[in-house]
Structure 1
Amino acid sequence: MTTLADTLRALPDEALAALFRLRPDLVVPVPTDLSALAVRAQSRVSVARALDGLDEFTLRILDAARLTRDEDHGETSTESILTLSAGAARRVDRAAVRSAVDRLRALFLLYGPTESLHVVPGVDEVCSPYPAGLGRPAAELDPETAALVADPAKLRRTLLAAPPPARAILDRLAAGPPVGTLPATAAPGEGAAAPVSWLVDNRLLVPVTEPSGLAGKPTAVELPREIGLLLRRESGPLGPLRPTPPPVAGAAREPKAADSAGAGQAMEAVRHTEALLEQLAAEPAPVLRSGGLGVRDLRRLARGGGLDESTTALLLEVAYAAGLVGEVDLPGTVTARNGADQQMLPAAGYEGWRDGSLAHRWEHLARAWLTMTRQVGLVGQRDDRDRPITVLSAEAERAGVPAVRRAVLDVLADLEPGTAPGPDEVVDLLAWRAPRRSLGRDTGQREVLAEAALLGVTGLGALTTYGRLLLAQWTAGDTRIGETGDDPLGVRPDADGAAGGGSAAVRALDALLPAPVDHFLVQADLTVVVPGPPEPTVAAELATVAEHESAGGASVYRVTGASVRRALDVGYAAEDLHSLFARRSRTPVPQGLTYLIDDVARKHGGLRVGSAGAYLRSDDEALLAEVLADRRLAPMSLRRLAPTVLTTPHLVGRLLTALREAGYAPVSEDASGATVLNRPKVRRAAARGSVANRVTDPLATPRLSTPRLLGIVEQIRRGDAAARAARRAPSTVRGAGRPGGAGPGMPTAHAHSQALAVLQQAVRDKALVWVGYVDAHGATASRLVRPVSIGGGYLRAEDERTEMLHTFALHRITAAVLDE
């Protein structure tokens, strides 16, 4: 029988390169020879990886190949597979079957000529032991059942006599898998065991586990293959076959409408993310000792942002993956509530992200979502130890999630623009495209659709234009080995957007979003309306001089006495505030705002606070007298030191707070009397990189260029030739050191001098030479090498097969023969 190694050895270089392109895991690392390649191609891991990419129809055809193998040689043929597939109720196109067989042969899951195909052994190890859901032949299970199936008329009468409950069990097992269990607690012939007992008694089912009599011990029964084939007479031996993917009849949306809806949701996602991070900056959340944020903190953030908890968890996870959130250690003497010694707050890169355009900020989040290995849908569920899974905890880590996102978005990308399929249609199509990968992942696939809608990747259920561009850019960013200009470490050069306008997705989204505005509208009630997304400088100015009230398509702020005082505290003068509102406002500045600024500025700095405990001074003696007599300030224990100076034993911060709460407008000063500008202190976690900067898809395989593939083929063939030649070493080398062929021994003086002369000549001529030697265990061996140098009692030579440098002790060399 021709082995797989012999088949691979007979292939041309282009065919081997094509195999490596389809199964790149075969050359990571590069095998030493074709025999090693054949072993790897039949291994469980490599076969499972190849099977994971096959669709439902191709896997059924592989099952047909397994079913039609003869018992003697394990061979099948394309014609046998066609014959078995032709039994389907809906006739299957023979060309589709041949195409599936050709694909299996290209992947070398089947090998050999079409009339004698072999299934690689790894397929039986990885796949179900019941091909196409059919059981084993009756002859392997029970002689009496075999006699029953050998009599077609008797078998048909027995099936027709089966009670309805028993027939329902047969139909269920015939659909696959063919094995069922029955609890041993059920009494034979009663309840659920009654129809099974009838089937066993009439030899239609065969017990494959002897009843033990122990309570709760299940008894397994198996439906023989011949009976399963008879019950499938309407659907065919392989069951219902779908050569083509199921159609997707999703709702048709106008592409512009889908893009507009998605862009609006993208803007909301960015805005809500910024609001959540601002909440964390104002009140950092403690990190649980087990990792992640607690349920109370998640609810607090959700309530503050006006969001539900699932959306809040998604945005926090995406922000963390994007490097916008991080942990910071608390000082040794400080402990947060719940005993936490870490807090979660915005990272050092948050300001840079916040200052970018809306489209750039969205792209940064969307890339992180695509590549992060976090399944957010698990948050709120229970783990194996019945503990709640919290946001940002390790229990929500799932390595295969990026592949699920890619598969779901690929389905949407393959449809016509504006097509909005339902979740059931997407799940069904994925189950056909890759049944092995999709098994048990339907919940995760539905979660991907919901998350894509929340982040604005889809709009009205359809993939947006900019989402399509982002997906194409992400797919093109996979690691390529041997391609010019690609980083072998897998770093995406455009992960944060290219300079000069950003990526194509950013430009497409920018065209859909409203242009940033550099102005606002001041109304008579001192509210400030920003008619669109504000520019970063406008947003920073308003954050200082006004209180934020609401967000949306138009943001609303309100100017208050406290906000004006805050602006004065950070260094603004009254003239600066008047100039700011006059420059930015498209409506006349209300007189009330002018009065408010002047009134607060007039009072601002009338009192001066320094450190004594603290002191209070003013050039206005009447004002100091008023403060001293104010009962609200009695807890400060103020004392007059001079007509213009008061002191208190309390610290400066407490005095400032008490004065402001009493309606005064003090400012702090240093020892020289200069005003201390009171800018808010911002704590940030250490800078973190976004996961979007690196390929994280565990299913992503290196794409090799054609020259690199051909180079690998040449390397393997050279190693194969050397390995085969090593097995044909000259008899003079193989027999050296074995006197009379009795066993290993050390070389004689004459043989040693001859070998040394041959080696010295090989060093001069740089020729290949066969070297026989005795190893440290006393065993003889031979190797084809190219001598490099001789000295110090050692030979240094390069092994032709492994291209490695080896050192041989000269006294252990038994023979040396030039290679012919």
Structure 2
Amino acid sequence: MTTLADNLRALPDEALAALFRLRPDLVVPVPTDLSALAVRAQSRVSVARALDGLDEFTLRILDAARLSRDPDHGETSTETITTLAVGASRSGDRAGVRTAIDRLRALFLLYGPESALRVAAGVDEVCSPYPAGLGRPAAELDPDTAALVADPALLRRTLLAAPPAARAILDRLAAGPPVGTLPAAAPPGEGAAAPVSWLVDNGLLVPISDAGGVPGTPTAVELPREIGLLLRRESGPLGPLRPRPPAVTGMAREPKAADSAGAGQAMEAVRHTEALLEQLAAEPAPVLRSGGLGVRDLRRLARATGVDESTTALLLEVAYAAGLTGEVDLPGAATTRNGADQQIMPAAGYEGWRDGSLAHRWEHLARAWLTMTRQVGLVGQRDDRDRPIAPLSPEAERAGVPAIRRAVLDVLDGLDPGAAPTPDEVTELLGWRAPRRSLGREAGQREVLTEAALLGVTGLGALTSYGRLLLARWTAGDTRLGESADDPLGVRPDADGAAGGGTAAVRALDALLPAPVDHFLLQADLTVVVPGPPEPTLAAELAVVAEHESAGGASVHRVTGASVRRALDAGYAAEDLHTLFKRRSRTPVPQGLTYLVDDIARKHGGLRAGSAGAYLRSDDEALLSEVLADRRLAPMSLRRLAPTVLTTPHLAGRLLGALRDAGYAPVSEDATGATVLARPKVRRAPARGSVANRVTDPLATPRLSTPRLLGIVEQIRRGDAAARVARRAPSTVRDAGRSGGAGPAMPAGHAHTQALAVLQQAVRDKALVWVGYVDAHGATASRLVRPVSIGAGYLRAEDERTEMLHTFALHRITAAVLEE
């Protein structure tokens, strides 16, 4: 019988390299020889990986191979499999069956000549014990049932005599799986057990277990294979087959309309994320002791952002994955109201992200979403301990989520531009493409479609043009795991990310978004209308001189006395504000705004505060008298030191706040009398990297270039040759050092001298030599090596099989024979 290792040895180098390209896990780490490779190729883990990538039709063809195996030799043939499958499909698609068989043989799940194909050993361990949903042969289950199926006429009469309820059970088991169960307490012959009892009594079902305490009452029954095949006479032995993937007949959208809708949603996603992070900057959210954010804080952030809680959770998770937020330890022993000692707030890289263009900011978020290992749909559900899963909590971590996103987006990417399949069509197609991977993941696949729509990756249900470019770059980025064909060292910079232009996805989205504006429209009621996304510099200026009121395609701000005072505190002079409004506004500056700025500026700085505790001075003695007499400032304990100076025991910051609350406009000064310009201190979490810069799948294996694959093939063949030679070590080497089989013994003087002479000659000739030696445990061993040097009582030699340098003590060497 030809083994899998023999089949692998017979392959040319190019065919072995093609196998490693299809199953890269076989060379991680590189096996020592082809026998080790054959063992790994049939292991449960490796076979499961190979099966996970197969479609429904190919898996059914593999079931056909398992069904058609000869029970004595375990072999089948291509013709037998084709006949079984073509007869089942009723379509005569012999080419499709042959393609599936070729794919299975390329993966070495089937191996051997076409007339004697064998199934890899690990397949039966990984797959269902019931191939194609058929039970075991009747001969393995029960002799009476075997006698029944041996008489076709009697079997047909028994089936025709079955009651309707019993026939319904048979049809259900015939569709697979062929095993059914009943409650152990069900009385025989009554209720749901009555039709089952009839089938068991007539030999159509075989009991495979009994109810505890009720002998003879079946709790599990199995439908024999022969009866299942008879019941499948219409659909065929393998059941209904689908050689082609299910068709997608969803609504077709205009590509431009889908792009426009997606771009609008992308702009909203960026805006809501920025608003969310600004809320976290103003009031950081405490971290629960169990991890994540509490329900109360999630609701607060949702209300402030203006979106629902599920969308808020998604944006929180994406922002955290993108490195825009992070945890900060509270100083000292301070704790938040719920006892946590950490808070979530924007990270150090937030300002850099906020200053980028809208398209760059969106791409940063979208790439983090594609690669983050967080299943946001679990937020709000209950965990194993019946506790709600919070956003950013460890319970929402799922390593397989990036693969689900890739599979769903690959479905959309494979359709025509503008195609908008329904969620049911997407899940059905994924179930055909990779049924083993998709089983139980339908809810996660639907969540991906919802999240993609919220983030603007899709528009009107179709993948956008810039989303398609982003997906292409993400797929190409997987070469970071290994080597690309044209850049084996992985050192070439990303051409798409050239300076100035951004990636192709960014450029495509930029063309769809409204151009950033560098101006605004001033209204008579002091509102500022920005007719588009503001440039970063304009946004920074508006954040200082105006209050934000509403967002959208055209954002609205308002100039107030407080905002003008804030601008003056930040270092603007009245003339600077007048110039700013004239330069930025496309409408005339309202007279009321001019008066407001001049009035606030005239009062601004009239009072100057310092530390004494703190002091207050002014050239206007009447103003100081008014402040001293103001009852609202009585808690400050002001005291006049001079006609132009007041002092307080409180710090300057508290004095400034009290004066401003009372309607005054003081400024702070330093010890020299110079005005101190100050903006509010912004706390930030430590900088964090985005998950988009990490490996997508921690279990992923590298993609290797053809030269590297051929090098691995050469290394394995060299190791295989060395292993085969090692089994033919000379008997003089294997037996040296043994004394009548009583155990290892040290070499005699003449033999040791002769071995040293052979080794010295091998060093000069750089020849291979068999070395027999006694190891540290007293056992004799032999090794084929190439001596490098002899000195200081040691032999240093290279093992060509493992390419490692070994050191042998000369007094432990028992024999040395040159390799012929």
So what's the TM-score if we normalise by structure 2? 0.97
- Give the aligned partner of residue 229 of structure 2: 229
Q: Deviation per CA, 1:719-758: give whole Å up to 9, x if none.
A: 1111000111122222323355676433222222211111
Unaligned runs of 5+ in 1: none
Task: Determine helix, strand or coil for the equivalent of 2:220.
Answer: strand
For residues 498 and 486 of structure 2, the distance between their equivalents in structure 1, rounded to whole angstroms, comes to 15
- Give the aligned partner of residue 603 of structure 2: 603
- Give the aligned partner of residue 481 of structure 1: 482
Choose 615-624 or 325-334, whichever is displaced more: 615-624
Kindly provide the amino acid, as one letter, of the partner of residue 787 in structure 1.
P
Asked if 1:654 is matched to 2:650, the reply is: no
Task: Determine helix, strand or coil for the equivalent of 1:783.
Answer: strand
Asked if 1:674 is matched to 2:674, the reply is: yes
Report the alpha carbon displacement of residue 620 of structure 1 after superposing the two structures with TM.
Answer: 1.2
Task: Determine helix, strand or coil for the equivalent of 2:338.
Answer: helix
- Give the aligned partner of residue 685 of structure 1: 685
- Give the aligned partner of residue 249 of structure 1: 249
Write out aligned runs for 1:122-137 (5 A): 122-137=122-137
- Give the aligned partner of residue 117 of structure 2: 117
Task: Determine helix, strand or coil for the equivalent of 1:159.
Answer: helix
1:495–1:693 contact (8 Å) kept in structure 2: no
Asked if 1:756 is matched to 2:756, the reply is: yes
- Give the aligned partner of residue 187 of structure 1: 187
- Give the aligned partner of residue 472 of structure 1: 472
Change (3 A) 1:195 1:491: farther
2:285–2:297 contact (8 Å) kept in structure 1: yes
Choose 157-166 or 106-115, whichever is displaced more: 157-166
- Give the aligned partner of residue 440 of structure 1: 440
Write out aligned runs for 1:518-529 (5 A): 518-529=518-529
2:496–2:504 contact (8 Å) kept in structure 1: no
- Give the aligned partner of residue 400 of structure 2: 400
Kindly provide the amino acid, as one letter, of the partner of residue 133 in structure 1.
G
For residues 19 and 460 of structure 1, the distance between their equivalents in structure 2, rounded to whole angstroms, comes to 41
For residues 699 and 260 of structure 1, the distance between their equivalents in structure 2, rounded to whole angstroms, comes to 37
Asked if 1:579 is matched to 2:586, the reply is: no
Task: Determine helix, strand or coil for the equivalent of 1:386.
Answer: coil
- Give the aligned partner of residue 712 of structure 2: 712
Kindly provide the amino acid, as one letter, of the partner of residue 689 in structure 2.
G
- Give the aligned partner of residue 210 of structure 2: 210
- Give the aligned partner of residue 51 of structure 2: 51
1:771–1:782 contact (8 Å) kept in structure 2: yes
Kindly provide the amino acid, as one letter, of the partner of residue 277 in structure 2.
L
Change (3 A) 1:577 1:496: farther
Kindly provide the amino acid, as one letter, of the partner of residue 777 in structure 2.
H
Q: Give the CA RMSD over aligned residues.
A: 1.8
Q: Deviation per CA, 1:481-506: give whole Å up to 9, x if none.
A: 34478697x89965994422101011
Percent of aligned pairs sharing the same letter: 88
Write out aligned runs for 1:132-281 (5 A): 132-213=132-213, 219-281=219-281
Write out aligned runs for 1:736-775 (5 A): 736-739=736-739, 744-775=744-775
Choose 159-168 or 470-479, whichever is displaced more: 159-168
Write out aligned runs for 1:236-635 (5 A): 236-479=236-479, 481-483=482-484, 494=494, 497-635=497-635
1:89–1:236 contact (8 Å) kept in structure 2: yes
Asked if 1:732 is matched to 2:726, the reply is: no
Kindly provide the amino acid, as one letter, of the partner of residue 706 in structure 1.
T
For residues 487 and 333 of structure 1, the distance between their equivalents in structure 2, rounded to whole angstroms, comes to 53
For residues 325 and 352 of structure 2, the distance between their equivalents in structure 1, rounded to whole angstroms, comes to 13
Kindly provide the amino acid, as one letter, of the partner of residue 588 in structure 2.
P
Report the alpha carbon displacement of residue 698 of structure 1 after superposing the two structures with TM.
Answer: 4.1
Kindly provide the amino acid, as one letter, of the partner of residue 678 in structure 2.
N
Kindly provide the amino acid, as one letter, of the partner of residue 427 in structure 1.
T
For residues 347 and 649 of structure 1, the distance between their equivalents in structure 2, rounded to whole angstroms, comes to 37
2:292–2:392 contact (8 Å) kept in structure 1: yes
Q: Deviation per CA, 1:358-379: give whole Å up to 9, x if none.
A: 1111011010000000000001
For residues 494 and 454 of structure 1, the distance between their equivalents in structure 2, rounded to whole angstroms, comes to 28
For residues 485 and 790 of structure 1, the distance between their equivalents in structure 2, rounded to whole angstroms, comes to 45
Choose 657-666 or 499-508, whichever is displaced more: 657-666
Q: Deviation per CA, 1:344-363: give whole Å up to 9, x if none.
A: 10000001011100111101
For residues 425 and 256 of structure 1, the distance between their equivalents in structure 2, rounded to whole angstroms, comes to 23
Kindly provide the amino acid, as one letter, of the partner of residue 428 in structure 2.
D
Write out aligned runs for 1:780-791 (5 A): 780-791=780-791
Kindly provide the amino acid, as one letter, of the partner of residue 759 in structure 2.
L
Change (3 A) 1:692 1:736: same
Task: Determine helix, strand or coil for the equivalent of 1:66.
Answer: helix
For residues 487 and 704 of structure 1, the distance between their equivalents in structure 2, rounded to whole angstroms, comes to 8
Unaligned runs of 5+ in 2: none
- Give the aligned partner of residue 778 of structure 1: 778
For residues 214 and 358 of structure 2, the distance between their equivalents in structure 1, rounded to whole angstroms, comes to 67
Change (3 A) 1:79 1:732: same
Q: Deviation per CA, 1:126-148: give whole Å up to 9, x if none.
A: 11111111111111111111111
Task: Determine helix, strand or coil for the equivalent of 1:811.
Answer: helix
Q: Deviation per CA, 1:755-796: give whole Å up to 9, x if none.
A: 111111001111001112233333332211101112222221
1:183–1:218 contact (8 Å) kept in structure 2: no
1:88–1:240 contact (8 Å) kept in structure 2: yes
Q: Deviation per CA, 1:355-411: give whole Å up to 9, x if none.
A: 100111101101000000000000111111111110011111000110100000000
For residues 494 and 550 of structure 1, the distance between their equivalents in structure 2, rounded to whole angstroms, comes to 38
Choose 172-181 or 698-707, whichever is displaced more: 698-707
Report the alpha carbon displacement of residue 610 of structure 1 after superposing the two structures with TM.
Answer: 1.9
Task: Determine helix, strand or coil for the equivalent of 1:391.
Answer: coil
Q: Deviation per CA, 1:178-205: give whole Å up to 9, x if none.
A: 1121111222222222222222222211
For residues 436 and 512 of structure 2, the distance between their equivalents in structure 1, rounded to whole angstroms, comes to 39
Kindly provide the amino acid, as one letter, of the partner of residue 449 in structure 1.
L
Write out aligned runs for 1:1-16 (5 A): 1-16=1-16
Choose 403-412 or 740-749, whichever is displaced more: 740-749
> How many corresponding residue pairs?
818
1:92–1:243 contact (8 Å) kept in structure 2: no
Q: Deviation per CA, 1:10-45: give whole Å up to 9, x if none.
A: 111111111111111111111111111111111111
Kindly provide the amino acid, as one letter, of the partner of residue 482 in structure 2.
I
- Give the aligned partner of residue 107 of structure 1: 107
Change (3 A) 1:691 1:31: same
Kindly provide the amino acid, as one letter, of the partner of residue 579 in structure 1.
T
For residues 569 and 819 of structure 2, the distance between their equivalents in structure 1, rounded to whole angstroms, comes to 90
For residues 782 and 636 of structure 1, the distance between their equivalents in structure 2, rounded to whole angstroms, comes to 93
So what's the TM-score if we normalise by structure 1? 0.97
Kindly provide the amino acid, as one letter, of the partner of residue 272 in structure 1.
H
Change (3 A) 1:218 1:608: farther
Report the alpha carbon displacement of residue 519 of structure 1 after superposing the two structures with TM.
Answer: 0.3
Asked if 1:801 is matched to 2:792, the reply is: no
Choose 420-429 or 219-228, whichever is displaced more: 219-228
Write out aligned runs for 1:39-78 (5 A): 39-78=39-78
2:355–2:536 contact (8 Å) kept in structure 1: yes
Change (3 A) 1:196 1:58: same
Q: Deviation per CA, 1:56-100: give whole Å up to 9, x if none.
A: 000000011011111111111111111211232532401111110
1:478–1:700 contact (8 Å) kept in structure 2: no
Change (3 A) 1:382 1:498: farther
Task: Determine helix, strand or coil for the equivalent of 1:796.
Answer: strand
1:403–1:699 contact (8 Å) kept in structure 2: no
1:364–1:496 contact (8 Å) kept in structure 2: no
Change (3 A) 1:298 1:781: same
Choose 793-802 or 639-648, whichever is displaced more: 639-648
Kindly provide the amino acid, as one letter, of the partner of residue 603 in structure 2.
K
Report the alpha carbon displacement of residue 336 of structure 1 after superposing the two structures with TM.
Answer: 1.1
